[in-house]
């Protein structure tokens, strides 16, 4: 099957800044694909390369099998939901949504009908007559979404679409975006710096750092089997452990990742202590509602442990034992 | 204590009103006197109070070919200079606010400089340049002189609006299938339109009453303000000058008023979706 988006060794440099540096990427048709990374990691430039706002310096880009480099944005069957929504302030909501159809020369009655349908799809059926300035942030977000999907693009690009919304609204929009993507069957490429958003919404995630893709995979794979220290650190907040520690606890001489929730904490020494067991001292506890984070020190190493809030109270200075399944101590690619 | 304070604050607005009234009178009484003299029957000297009132000078002014020629030259000059300014000012504003290049700030300063430069310097500079290049004085030398400051007015208005118009609007338009021309017609122009209209009207008004630069670039031609200046030393049908003065005030004041109202409400950031 043809890939929705294909990058072959694509680079885009701005002067001496390597915004995108030799990226290979394949997004499958119908996939919800997230590009995750800190700011300046190249994820937004990758999105702009797909949209056509940037052209690659080297490398090759295909969108559904068609060469994309050299094709201007207005001749690509790709639409973007912008971070600041970029609604036209001088047009009504309906005219905003109908803009793409108007540019394609579709007659007024048809484009008004289709725009109204798109507005109904994003649950703003009666807002067509308003101006963008009269809408709330969440409503503008929906209009921007309607304006993009009304053109039935083959790929929908979303640039931090939920960044400006408050937490409650963001969770609601996450569900709606996911439902919309499944209903429309359009390939979504989604840029975010929020690892929780990427893990919960995407079919696959590409983790970006310094213009390169560090790891691509399903959310569970990225989370449980981070390839490098950067991924372990950026996705979730893992315990990144030095090679000596890994070696002592049954792994090779490599950096390793141990997820805080994979550690079991006990106040009594376990019977027949195996390789995955460690005496530690509690340094601090942090209450998070559903969970409690415990910071413990063992073998001169600090470890974060996440336990259900219902677990017994621990105090700084308490002597505890940490155990984990040998499989959970995941050795990464970084050597000593 | 309390009554004392209200007592004082009750007195000071009256003083303030008187001072403000006196200031406004000082500013506008001379202009009113000019208007009154347009209706006087005395044509040789400015006699106060006017012996009698008449409207015949309006007809006489309209009939005089020198007035008509000067008016027509002024209108053509102002319109042409404004048109030149609209094109150059908008392009320059777009370049400065939409792209980054070496020397961008310097260019911005150089474009604004003519309005800060005394008119007499601009005039002398243009005159020497024209004579060095052996360009004879013509309609176009006046237009060129006026365009130097008209461009600044349009540029300033356009650049302010461009800054307030989010750059992603243009990308959004391209993304939705509009090419460069469609984007300009459907997105850029509607967003900067009122700024251009306001800038254009201000430029027209400035050009219409310009004297200093014109004296250096007009040669023997007389625009309306130049004609008035010449007329003051010749005591013949004096009230005609006052009729023309009323016209100049109307033509320059109304556009400035309109420009003020057009740009007054544009303070919110255009296209900033948050």
| Chain segment B242-253, per-residue pLDDT in tens | 888 888 888 888
What pLDDT does residue B47 have? 72
The answer to whether A157 touches A81, Cβ cutoff 8 Å, is yes
Residue B152 inside a domain? The answer is yes
Instruction: Give residue-wise pLDDT tens across range B33-53.
Output: 888 888 888 777 777 777 778
Is there a single domain that holds both residue B74 and residue B179?
A: yes
> Can you give the pLDDT at residue B270?
41
User: Which residues of chain A neighbour B172 with C-beta distances below 8 Å?
Assistant: 80, 82, 86-88
User: Do B46 and B62 reside in the same domain of the chain?
Assistant: no
> A90–B171: do the CB atoms touch at under 8 Å?
no
Our CA dihedral for A211, A217, A219, A225, rounded to 10 degrees, sits at -90
Interface of A with B in 117-136 (CB under 8 A): 132-133
**Model pLDDT for residues B120-156, shown as the tens digit of each residue:** 998 999 999 999 998 898 899 999 999 988 999 999 9
Candidates A100, A144, A164; nearest CB to B177? A100
- Non-local (6+) Cβ contacts of A285 within 8 A are A292, A293, A294, A295, A313, A314, A315, A316
Distance (Å, whole) CA B125 – CA B189: 35
Specify the CATH number for the domain of residue B106. 1.10.3720.10
Instruction: Say if residue B157 is in the same domain as residue B102.
Output: yes
Inter-chain residue contact B270 with A89, CB threshold 8 Å? yes
What pLDDT does residue B51 have?
Answer: 77
CA distance B212 to A330: 82
| Domain membership flag for residue B192 | yes
Residue B271 lies in a domain: no
- Residue B11: per-residue pLDDT: 62
- Number of domains present in the structure of chain B: 2
What is the separation of C-alpha B121 from the centre of its chain, rounded to a whole number of angstroms? 19
The overall average pLDDT reported for chain B is: 83
Output phi, psi for A40, to 5 deg. Answer: 80, 15
* pLDDT per residue as tens, chain A (336 positions): 788 999 999 999 998 888 999 999 999 999 999 999 999 899 999 999 999 999 999 999 999 999 998 899 999 999 999 998 999 999 999 999 999 999 999 999 999 999 999 999 888 888 999 999 999 888 999 999 999 999 999 999 999 888 778 888 888 888 889 999 999 989 999 999 988 889 989 999 999 999 999 999 999 999 989 999 999 988 887 889 888 888 888 777 888 999 998 898 888 777 765 555 788 999 998 888 888 899 999 888 889 999 887 666 788 888 888 888 888 888 888 765
The pLDDT of residue A335: 67
Q: Would residue B5 count as lying in a domain? A: no
Q: In A, which residues are within 8 Å of B176 by CB distance? A: 74, 79, 99-100, 103, 147, 151
Look at B163 and A149; give whichever has higher pLDDT: A149
What's this model's pTM, rounded to 2 decimal places? 0.77
Token pair listed for B201: 């009207």
B54, B71, B103 - which closes a domain: B54
Residue of B nearest to A104 (CA): B177
Asked if residue B196 and residue B61 are part of one domain, the reply reads yes
Whether B176 and A99 lie within 8 Å, measured CB to CB: yes
Dig out the tokens for A53 from the structure.
Answer: 């706002």
Cross-chain residue pair A73–B175, CB shorter than 8 Å: yes
The domains located in chain A, with CATH, are 5-233 (3.40.50.300), 239-331 (2.40.50.100)
Do both B24 and B72 map to the same domain? no
In a domain, B7, yes or no: no
Residue B246 lies in a domain: yes
Q: Which domain holds residue B33?
A: 13-54
Q: What is the pLDDT of residue B274?
A: 33
Range B165-192 average pLDDT: 89
Same domain, yes or no, for B166 and B192? yes
pLDDT at B7 over 90: no
Query: What DSSP line would sit under chain B, residue for residue?
Result: -HHHHHHHHHHHHHHHHHHHHHHHHHHHHHHHHHHHHTTBS--SS--SS-SSB-SHHHHHHHH-HHHHHHHHHHHHHHHHHHHHHHHHHHHHHHHHHH---TTHHHHHHHHHHHHHS-HHHHHHHHHHHHHHTTPPP-HHHHHHHHHHHHHHHHHHHHHHHHHHB-THHHHHHHHTT--HHHHIIIIIHHHHHHHHHHHHHHHHHHHHT--HHHHHH-TT---HHHHHHHHHTS-SSHHHHHHHHHHHHHHHHHHHHHHHHHHHTTTSPBT---
Q: Kindly report the nearest CA distance between residue B139 and chain A, in angstroms.
A: 39
Which residue on chain B is closest to A72 by alpha carbon? B174
Rounded to whole angstroms, the Cα distance separating A26 from A7 reads: 6
CA-wise closest residue to A305 among A264, A248, A266 = A264
Alpha-carbon distance values, A199 to A43, A193, B200 (Å)? 16, 11, 54
Which of the four pLDDT bands, split at 50, 70 and 90, describes residue B109?
Answer: confident
Q: Let me know whether B145 and B37 are in one domain.
A: no
Q: Of B175, B191, B274, which has the smallest distance from its Cβ to A84's Cβ?
A: B274
User: And the tokens for A247?
Assistant: 């070696």
Question: Is the reported ipTM for this assembly greater than 0.90?
Answer: no
CB pair distance less than 8 Å for B172 and A74: no
Shared domain for B150 and B106, answered yes or no, is yes
Question: Does residue B269 register a pLDDT over 60?
Answer: no
A79 has a chain B CB within 8 A of its CB: yes
Same domain assignment for residues B41 and B138: no
A85 touches chain B (CB under 8 A): yes
Retrieve residue A164's tokens: 């400006």
Q: Is the pLDDT of residue B260 over 60?
A: yes
Which residue of chain B has the CA closest to A165?
Answer: B274
In a domain, B64, yes or no: yes
* Contact check, Cβ <8 Å, A99/B173: yes
Whether residue B19 sits in one domain with residue B149: no
Are B107 and B70 contained in the same domain? yes
In a domain, B270, yes or no: no
Same domain, B47 and B110: no
Would you call A86 and B273 a contact, using CB atoms and an 8 Å cutoff?
yes
């Amino acid at each position: 099957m043809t890939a929705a988006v294909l990058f072959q060794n694509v680079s885009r440099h701005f002067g001496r800044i390597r915004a995108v540096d030799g990226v290979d990427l394949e997004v499958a048709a119908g996939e919800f694909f997230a590009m995750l990374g800190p700011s300046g990691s190249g994820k937004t430039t990758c999105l702009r390369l797909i949209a056509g706002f940037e052209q690659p310096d080297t490398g090759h880009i295909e969108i559904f099998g068609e060469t994309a480099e050299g094709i201007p944005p207005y001749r690509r069957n790709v639409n973007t939901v912008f971070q600041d929504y970029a609604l036209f302030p001088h047009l009504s909501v309906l005219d905003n949504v109908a803009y793409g159809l108007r540019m394609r020369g579709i007659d007024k009655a048809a484009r008004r009908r289709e725009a109204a349908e798109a507005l109904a799809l994003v649950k703003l059926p009666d807002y067509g007559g308003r101006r963008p300035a009269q809408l709330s942030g969440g409503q503008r977000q929906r209009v921007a979404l309607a304006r993009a999907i009304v053109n039935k693009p083959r790929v929908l690009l979303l640039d931090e679409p939920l960044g400006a919304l408050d937490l409650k609204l963001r969770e609601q929009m996450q569900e709606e975006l996911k439902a919309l993507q499944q209903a429309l069957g359009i390939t979504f490429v989604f840029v975010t710096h929020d690892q929780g958003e990427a893990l919960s919404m995407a079919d696959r995630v590409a983790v970006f750092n310094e213009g390169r893709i560090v790891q691509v995979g399903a959310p569970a794979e990225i989370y449980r089997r981070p390839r490098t220290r950067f991924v372990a650190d950026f996705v979730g907040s893992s315990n990144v452990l030095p090679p000596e520690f890994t070696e002592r606890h049954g792994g090779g001489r490599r950096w390793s990742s141990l997820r805080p929730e994979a550690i079991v904490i006990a106040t009594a020494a376990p019977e027949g202590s195996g390789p995955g067991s460690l005496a530690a001292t509690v340094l601090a506890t942090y209450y998070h509602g559903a969970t409690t984070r415990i910071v413990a020190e063992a073998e001169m190493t600090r470890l974060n442990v996440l336990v259900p809030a219902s677990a017994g109270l621990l105090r700084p200075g308490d002597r505890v034992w940490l155990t984990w399944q040998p499989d959970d101590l995941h050795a990464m690619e970084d050597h000593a | 204590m309390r009554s004392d304070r209200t007592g004082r604050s009750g007195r000071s607005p009256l003083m303030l009103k008187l001072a403000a009234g006196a200031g406004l009178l000082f500013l506008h009484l001379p202009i009113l006197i000019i208007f009154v003299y347009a209706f006087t029957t005395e044509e040789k000297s400015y006699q106060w109070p006017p012996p009698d009132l008449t409207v015949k000078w309006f007809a006489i002014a309209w009939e005089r070919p020198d007035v008509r020629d000067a008016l027509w030259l002024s209108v053509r000059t102002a319109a042409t200079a404004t048109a030149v300014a609209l094109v150059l000012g908008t392009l320059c504003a777009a370049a400065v606010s939409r792209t980054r290049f070496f020397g961008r700030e310097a260019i911005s300063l150089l474009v604004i400089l003519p309005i800060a430069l005394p008119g007499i310097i601009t005039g002398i500079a243009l005159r020497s340049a024209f004579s060095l290049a052996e360009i004879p004085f013509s309609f176009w030398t006046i237009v060129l002189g006026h365009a130097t400051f008209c461009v600044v007015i349009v540029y300033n208005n356009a650049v302010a609006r461009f800054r307030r118009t989010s750059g992603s609007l243009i990308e959004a338009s391209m993304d939705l299938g509009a090419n460069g021309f469609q984007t300009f017609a459907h997105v850029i122009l509607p967003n900067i339109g009122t700024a251009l209209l306001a800038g254009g009207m201000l430029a027209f008004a400035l050009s219409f009453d310009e004297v200093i630069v014109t004296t250096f670039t007009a040669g023997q031609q007389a625009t309306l303000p130049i004609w008035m200046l010449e007329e003051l030393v010749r005591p013949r049908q004096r009230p005609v000058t006052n009729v023309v003065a009323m016209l100049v005030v109307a033509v320059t004041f109304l556009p400035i008023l309109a420009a003020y109202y057009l740009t007054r409400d544009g303070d919110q950031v255009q296209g900033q979706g948050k």
